[in-house]
Amino acid sequence: MGYGSTGRLLQIDLSDGSIRCEQLAEEFYRHYPGGKALAGYLLLNNLPRGTDPLGPANLLVLAAGLLTGAALPTASRFTAAARSPLTGAYGESEAGGYWGPELKMAGFDAITITGRAETPVYLWIRDGHVEIRDARHLWKIDPEQAQAAIRQELGDKLIRVLQIGLGGENLVRYAAITNELRHYNGRTGMGAVMGSKNLKAIAVRGSGRYADFAHDPRALAELGKHLAKKVSDHPQIWDLKEKGTPGLVNSLNAVGILPTRNFRQGAFDQVGKISWEAYQNELFTARRSCYACAVRCKREVVVNDRHKVSAAFGGPEYEALAGLGSDCGVDDLQAIAKANELCGRHTLDVISTGATIAFAMECFEHGLITLAETDGIVLRFGNADAMLTMIEMIARREGIGKLLAEGTRRAAQVIGGDAPYFAMHVKGQELPMHDPRGKAGVGLGYATSDTGAEHLVSFHDTQFQNPDSLAFQAARSLGLTEALPARELSKKKAAQYALLENWSSLGKVLGLCYFGPAPRAFIQVDEVVAIVNAATGWNLAVGGLLQIGERATNLARAFNVREGFSKQDDALPERLFTPLENGALAGAALSKQEFEHALQALYGCKGWDANGVPTRERLESLGLGQVADLILSH
């Protein structure tokens, strides 16, 4: 009888080629069940303070969630974590697809990788057997070709391949990792960490089943069947199944918070050209899914016109449509699809790539970057060809791409003048395509996220402003009692945010997609409780699950405190405190005074002091007394 985990941690040192496996006790997993919690624990306890993010000593953690691999819709995700080369803070990114479940079926809950191989290598993991193999012939090779070559070399078409492309190999600070070419650990530069270790790929094949280590496989199977049927009946899933995330473009534009021209504006005058309707007519070919998931929110596209866009790398999601579209002032949908493919092919985070190019465009239009720096490229808003060229230059670190590959914060420091004002980032990580001037709680999330600006830290305000909405009704089971306006910044909003952040953090521990659990989607709170208990036998209630999520968040915050981060780093870009230029919220801006008051209220809700440091009392209540000893001694 198991508890939802294999109990095995694979540890690899690429410098000396050593491979070892550690068996972890069930009691350990009760505190750190997987994903974000397991990664946070391993980084905080095994990575020395001040480690160079691109040095061999940085520790890369790949951790499956507690439920990853179960036959449940949305239970496919795993965490990639290390010290971020983009921010210098705790770095983390989740991805779905098939690689995470395969790792668990191969006998491991997580992998830690340290050191640096002398020449490029890849890892081959099959049912507990691990090899470090030569990858010199794969270095600088397109991921599509590299995946095919690995599968042919190892003689199995069903091998799941996690890998980097040119962006990771060239240490672009926001390089991503991809599995199956369509699923990305996009944020915080985990691809650059892989590249710094000369690690091209990790190939995995397993013959195990989640039922082999679940407490009650029969109950889990029944829950899986129930939820798979529920997907087609639940109203919150209808748009995801039909449109995927591209359906957000029109709705966010209508309410005035579609980031446009580097967050100056909230509405795009050519939105119809990048809307779902245009996408469906010009690009869309098929719906795709992740492991065991009936939601099928992934879109696949093909273009054989002015641009040639392969289906191999998946279609643009909302973040690509906005980041490479409206935020860059580009209304050419085919060019956006090509840009999305290039980001996938070169393994670049599409959010940071789009935001960095938008930043460069504004610098160019203000004369801070000239034709001499751009090699004659007119880098103005709306120039789709310039955007495509910039992606190639960034991936190859050529010309101005070498500077832009450092991210907006570092680039702005070099450019000088007003460039820092145009750099839309928090802690060095570029803002996702959700404007806090219309979602105030998202702003609190951007500011306090351990990874820098991130849109999946908590749930978005717009879901909880109507007390009759399905999302609000579902959130009552978590303790939500009052609907609040989306733009409100108050103590009540801070308390709401803190509660929902713990639930969102739990999802990253469990390995559940954001589109699975309520209040965002169809798996109700009591069903999440039932699933966890069927998997583990731990007899947890909602409060216990929220505590697991809070523990994971505090581990990451403790890491940042140890690295010297404080309240001054929980700051939003100045532009968000200035009025939007157009759209339904024209003239709207965040209030600095309200933001500061809400930030302090949020610290209080979290049990952190006025400088944003977790108190000993709160850490000890979470079973993290040793963490208090670690961070409060610095």
- Domain assignment present for residue 278? The answer is yes
Percent of the chain at pLDDT exceeding 90 = 93
* Residue range 526-572, pLDDT digits in tens: 999 999 999 999 999 999 999 999 999 999 999 999 999 999 999 99
Where residue 373 falls among pLDDT bands split at 50, 70, 90? Answer: very high
Where residue 634 falls among pLDDT bands split at 50, 70, 90? Answer: low
d(CA 292, CA 48): 38
Strand boundaries in 67-216, DSSP class E: 78-83, 90-95, 110-114, 121-126, 129-134, 160-163, 177-179, 183-185, 199-205
- Domain assignment present for residue 368? The answer is yes
- Domain assignment present for residue 534? The answer is yes
Residues 175 and 55 in one domain: yes
- Domain assignment present for residue 229? The answer is no
Question: DSSP secondary-structure letter at 612?
Answer: S
Whether pLDDT at 328 is above 80: yes
- Domain assignment present for residue 478? The answer is yes
The pLDDT, as a whole number, for residue 48 is 95
- Which is it for the CA torsion 28, 30, 33, 37, positive or negative? negative
* Residue range 256-280, pLDDT digits in tens: 999 999 999 999 999 999 999 999 9
Residues 357 and 447 in one domain: no
Residues 293 and 184 in one domain: no
* Average confidence score pLDDT of the chain: 96
Rg (CA), the chain: 23
Structurally, how many domains does the chain consist of?
Answer: 3
Residues 108 and 153 in one domain: yes
The pLDDT, as a whole number, for residue 353 is 98
Residues 578 and 452 in one domain: yes
- Domain assignment present for residue 572? The answer is yes
Residues 25 and 173 in one domain: yes
Residues 252 and 394 in one domain: yes
Give the structural domain span for 609.
440-631
Whether pLDDT at 619 is above 60: yes
**Does an H or E element contain 20, and which?**
strand 18-23
Residues 494 and 619 in one domain: yes
* Residue range 393-435, pLDDT digits in tens: 999 999 999 999 999 999 999 999 999 999 999 999 999 999 9
Residues 406 and 257 in one domain: yes
The pLDDT, as a whole number, for residue 150 is 98
Give the torsion through C-alpha atoms of 156, 310, 288, 337, to 10 deg: 150
The pLDDT, as a whole number, for residue 333 is 97
Query: Could you tell me how many residues make up the chain?
Result: 634
Say which residue the tokens 């944020």 belong to: 187
Residues 209 and 269 in one domain: no
The pLDDT, as a whole number, for residue 372 is 97
- Domain assignment present for residue 490? The answer is yes
Tokens of 34: 């997987």
Residues 413 and 523 in one domain: no
Which comes out higher in pLDDT, residue 193 or 1? Answer: 193
pTM for the full model? 0.97
What CATH number is attached to the domain comprising 543? 1.10.599.10
Percent of the chain at pLDDT exceeding 70 = 100
* Residue range 106-146, pLDDT digits in tens: 999 999 999 999 999 999 999 999 999 999 999 999 999 99
What CATH number is attached to the domain comprising 303? 1.10.569.10
* Residue range 227-258, pLDDT digits in tens: 998 887 888 888 888 888 999 999 999 999 99
Residues 588 and 484 in one domain: yes
